[in-house]
């Protein structure tokens, strides 16, 4: 059934692919809501969807970040920590990149987890206020990514300015 170039979805146009992915996403979402409903009665706090989606997405985001780099950032950080005794190499910007990758994963994953919680609460409760707190949690998780990005950019600008100032002072002395 599959052709040599693209598999089963190669003969399907873009609109049909979008419909297939959308239906698959809805099925997965309702499966997650059903799983939440099954485990909601006696579930410990660490099984909360925002927490475990956040952790899973943080790990996946870090792996994706490492794959996009020319060199594994953890290897270069390790080499710098191991071999640099005069502090002429810096790892701060590399750490900012890793913190941002982890933060994006945590934010997106927890936002999706709060969305799953909202959908579960909306389908199983008649209360108006309680389910919408989960949507607020999802929005806060997405805003966390924005604030993290802004903070890291401000810190990196200050850090780069300090390095340039240091080079300027060394040049003048």
Give the pLDDT means over successive 10-residue stretches in the chain (173 positions).
54 78 77 65 65 87 88 84 79 88 93 84 68 86 95 93 89 83
Q: Helices in 40-128 by DSSP H: which ranges?
A: 49-68, 73-83, 92-124
Distance (Å, whole) CA 103 – CA 149: 9
Report percent pLDDT > 90 for the chain: 24
Which residues are within 8 A (CB) of 112 and not within 5 positions of it... i.e. 6 or more apart? 49, 53, 57, 138
Please, are residues 121 and 130 in contact by the beta-carbon 8 Å criterion? yes
Which residues are within 8 A (CB) of 1 and not within 5 positions of it... i.e. 6 or more apart? 8
Q: What are phi and psi of 3, to 5 degrees?
A: -90, 175
Distance (Å, whole) CA 78 – CA 85: 13
Distance (Å, whole) CA 113 – CA 32: 9
Please, are residues 105 and 62 in contact by the beta-carbon 8 Å criterion? yes
pLDDT of residue 2: 47
Using CA atoms of 6, 7, 12, 16 in order, give the dihedral in degrees to the nearest 10: -110
What is the average pLDDT value for the chain, to the nearest integer?
81
Task: Specify the pTM.
Answer: 0.71
């Amino acid at each position: 059934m599959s052709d040599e170039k693209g598999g089963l979805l190669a003969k399907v146009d873009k609109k049909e692919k979008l419909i297939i992915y959308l239906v698959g996403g809805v099925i997965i979402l309702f499966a997650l809501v059903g799983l939440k409903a099954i485990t909601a009665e006696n579930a410990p706090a660490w099984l909360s969807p925002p927490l475990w989606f956040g952790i899973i997405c943080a790990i996946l985001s870090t792996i994706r970040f490492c794959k996009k780099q020319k060199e594994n950032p953890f290897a270069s950080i390790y080499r710098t920590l191991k071999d640099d005794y005069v502090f002429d190499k810096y790892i701060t910007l590399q750490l900012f990149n890793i913190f941002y990758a982890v933060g994006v994963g945590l934010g997106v994953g927890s936002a999706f987890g709060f969305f799953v919680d909202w959908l579960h609460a909306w389908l199983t409760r008649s209360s108006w206020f309680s389910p919408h707190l989960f949507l607020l949690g999802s929005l806060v998780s997405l805003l966390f990514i924005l604030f993290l990005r802004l903070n890291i950019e401000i810190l990196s600008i200050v850090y780069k300015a300090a390095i340039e100032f240091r080079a300027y002072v060394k040049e003048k002395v």
